[in-house]
């Protein structure tokens, strides 16, 4: 499982284990799965799609960035 944190300047929207997360990167949408290569990406307006063992959740964003390293994903959004 992956560990995901989605944060805004004022609060943490999500913290927990996920199966995958799809992000709207500025160079195109991409999905992060277990053992994904390390990456830092800027994000554009769109949706973050989070798949957990209990279902799927979506979060809207205007912009932000994501960091993936060692099965830990941090997504900072506005």
State pLDDT tens for residues 29-54. Answer: 999 999 999 999 999 999 999 999 99
Q: First CA to last CA across the chain, in angstroms?
A: 26
Q: Are strands 72-77 and 2-7 parallel, antiparallel or unpaired?
A: parallel
Q: Is residue 70 over pLDDT 90?
A: yes
For domain 2-77, give the CATH superfamily.
F0F1 ATP synthase delta/epsilon subunit, N-terminal (2.60.15.10)
pLDDT, mean over the chain? 96
Rounded Cα distance, 78 and 70, in Å: 24
Can you give the pLDDT at residue 2? Answer: 97
Can you give the pLDDT at residue 75? Answer: 97
Q: For the chain, give every domain's residue range.
A: 2-77
């Amino acid at each position: 499982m992956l560990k995901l944190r989605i944060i805004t300047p004022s609060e943490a929207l999500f913290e927990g284990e996920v199966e995958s997360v799809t992000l709207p990167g500025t160079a195109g949408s991409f999905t992060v799965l277990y053992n994904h290569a390390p990456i830092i990406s800027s994000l554009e307006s769109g949706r973050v799609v989070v798949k957990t063992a209990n279902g799927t959740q979506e979060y809207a964003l205007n912009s932000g960035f994501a960091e993936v390293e060692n099965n830990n994903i941090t997504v900072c959004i506005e």
